[in-house]
């Protein structure tokens, strides 16, 4: 590939206005904070900025069950008593980590629609990289909410990419195992999942190194179980050689990269010790392969640091240097007392020993060496985009506005 990579950025100004509840660690407001940093650093000028469409129940049904989608569409904090059986069945409600809050279904529509729009943009060859920081909700199952996640936008985006690409690679650098995505594609060789995560007495409890897939998918689930205190140097020591081997043997046509920021230092729920630069080195290395890539958010519960992380990783994708001084923006006071972009890792012990890391690295490289080359797929006529299935002229028209209109809209969104 020659020339600068074309980057599309998807954002819905309302996505940051939803509220899980006063004591809940998931704060959608972090997405808006990241957006304002991206605006105040001027990065929007170097991307095509789009207001994404809200996903429809039909689009969600490509993976999720109809009764689960219908429940989410009807559930409100005011009618919970009439849905008590369904709440238990779908793992939603006050006794779970997935509460019913005002606008819950609209929230899922917004983050999911942005991931689908990004996948379609890549499929059409209209962008090399698509970014949706509101996406990456990797724990949701076919008929069950889990780990603050209700609709699995990642699985839906991968299904969209599989319409055009024979093989899709999913990479997960969130501190939690990407269990919902792994489970969805556990028995296929068309999707390889690669997750680096804290393992052992830690949610969701899956992601053992010997969980490698089943049936046709045997060997195509790649898990790097780690423990507390991971540093930049030790994280990259696992990520780069395994990623290089994956690209050699699997040769994906597209990549989905989930950039959960709960693996960086100082996270409310995390226990790794990565700086922004260490976390973003995975983004930089993935980008270097010049494969169409959908970049998503994910976890992250110290919201000022989540915003820092995703703004910095946007700059890495754009190949631009950002000054460490955070420019003034609507949420400037969140970055007190230093008002700096970068974080300093803590002085703490890394419980991952050289021997344990080397064992993980060797086991994963051995697993990948055992694969018999990249699977080939007899590609039939490419199925239509989800938006063409809907036949909605209005939606199509919304996506063909001029770049100038989009940039102006991006600025306006920032002030909402």
Alpha carbon of 46 to those of 312, 314, 317, 347, 404: distances in Å?
Answer: 14, 10, 11, 37, 12
In the numeric block, the tokens 């942005």 are attached to: 114
Per-residue pLDDT for 276 more than 80?
yes
Per-residue pLDDT for 389 more than 50?
no
Task: Return the SS3 of 347.
Answer: coil
Over range 272-285, report the average pLDDT.
Answer: 98
* Conformational region of residue 358, where left means phi above 0, alpha means psi within -120 to 50, and beta covers everything else: alpha
CA pair distance 293, 363, nearest whole angstrom? 27
Over range 301-313, report the average pLDDT.
Answer: 98
Alpha carbon of 76 to those of 26, 204, 279, 282, 311: distances in Å?
Answer: 18, 26, 37, 39, 33
CA-CA-CA-CA torsion sign (137, 141, 145, 150): positive
Instruction: Indicate if 139 belongs to the active site.
Output: yes
Return the pLDDT at 367.
98
Over range 133-142, report the average pLDDT.
Answer: 98
Return the pLDDT at 175.
98
Task: Evaluate if pTM is beyond 0.85.
Answer: yes
Over range 326-336, report the average pLDDT.
Answer: 98
Per-residue pLDDT for 2 more than 70?
no
Alpha carbon of residue 117 to chain centroid: 14
Return the pLDDT at 372.
77
Return the pLDDT at 190.
97
Over range 250-264, report the average pLDDT.
Answer: 98
Over range 60-70, report the average pLDDT.
Answer: 98
Interval 8-42: pLDDT, tens: 999 999 999 999 999 999 999 999 999 999 999 99
Over range 388-412, report the average pLDDT.
Answer: 40
CA pair distance 170, 192, nearest whole angstrom? 6
Return the pLDDT at 353.
97
Per-residue pLDDT for 385 more than 80?
no
Asked if residues 50 and 9 have their Cβ atoms less than 8 Å apart, the reply is yes
Higher confidence at residue 397 or residue 168? 168
Per-residue pLDDT for 394 more than 60?
no
CB atoms within 10 A of CB 403: 10
CA pair distance 109, 86, nearest whole angstrom? 20
Q: pLDDT-derived band of residue 249, with 50, 70 and 90 as boundaries?
A: very high
- Backbone phi, psi, residue 264, to 5°: -90, 165
Alpha carbon of residue 49 to chain centroid: 18
Q: Which residues contact 350 (CB under 8 A, 6 or more apart)?
A: 228, 229, 230, 231, 234, 273
Return the pLDDT at 409.
40
Q: pLDDT-derived band of residue 387, with 50, 70 and 90 as boundaries?
A: low
Which residue is catalytic, options 64, 138, 139, 176?
139
Residue 61: closest CA among 70, 49, 52: 70
Per-residue pLDDT for 393 more than 50?
no
CA pair distance 258, 277, nearest whole angstrom? 16
Per-residue pLDDT for 310 more than 90?
yes
């Amino acid at each position: 590939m020659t020339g600068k990579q074309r980057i599309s950025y998807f954002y819905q100004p309302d996505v940051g206005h939803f509220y899980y509840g006063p004591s809940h660690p998931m704060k959608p407001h972090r997405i808006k904070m990241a957006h304002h940093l991206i605006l105040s650093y001027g990065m929007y000028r170097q991307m095509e900025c789009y207001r994404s469409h809200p996903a429809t129940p039909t689009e969600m049904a490509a993976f999720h069950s109809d009764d689960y989608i219908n429940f989410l569409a009807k559930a409100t904090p005011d009618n919970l008593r009439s849905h008590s059986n369904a709440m238990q069945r779908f793992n939603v409600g006050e006794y779970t980590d997935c509460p019913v809050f005002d606008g819950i279904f609209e929230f899922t529509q917004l983050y999911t629609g942005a991931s689908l729009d990004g996948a379609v943009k890549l499929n059409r060859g209209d962008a090399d990289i698509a970014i949706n920081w509101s996406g990456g909700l990797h724990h949701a199952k076919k008929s069950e909410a889990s780990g603050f996640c209700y609709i699995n936008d990642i699985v839906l985006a991968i299904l969209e990419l599989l319409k055009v690409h024979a093989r899709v690679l999913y990479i997960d650098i969130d501190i939690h195992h990407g269990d919902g995505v792994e489970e969805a594609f556990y028995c296929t060789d068309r999707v390889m999942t690669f997750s680096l995560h804290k393992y052992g007495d830690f949610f969701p409890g899956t992601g053992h190194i010997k969980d490698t897939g089943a049936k046709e998918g045997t060997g195509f689930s790649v898990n790097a179980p780690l423990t507390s205190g991971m540093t930049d140097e030790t994280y990259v020591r696992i990520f780069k050689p395994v990623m290089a081997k994956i690209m050699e043997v699997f040769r994906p046509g597209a990549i989905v990269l989930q950039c959960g920021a709960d693996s960086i230092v100082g996270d409310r729920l995390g226990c790794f010790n990565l700086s922004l630069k260490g976390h973003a080195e995975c983004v930089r290395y993935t980008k270097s392969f010049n494969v169409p890539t959908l970049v998503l958010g994910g976890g992250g519960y110290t919201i000022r640091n989540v915003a820092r992380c995703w703004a910095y990783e946007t700059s890495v994708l754009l190949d631009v240097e950002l000054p460490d001084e955070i420019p003034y923006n609507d949420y400037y006071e969140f970055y007190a007392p230093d008002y700096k972009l970068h974080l300093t890792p803590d002085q703490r012990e890394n419980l991952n020993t050289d021997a344990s890391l080397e064992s993980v690295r060797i086991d994963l490289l051995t697993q990948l060496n055992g694969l018999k080359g990249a699977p080939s797929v007899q590609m039939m006529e490419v199925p239509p985009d989800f938006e063409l299935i809907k036949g909605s002229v209005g939606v199509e028209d919304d996506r063909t506005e001029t770049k100038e209109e989009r940039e102006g809209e991006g600025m306006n969104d920032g002030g909402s």
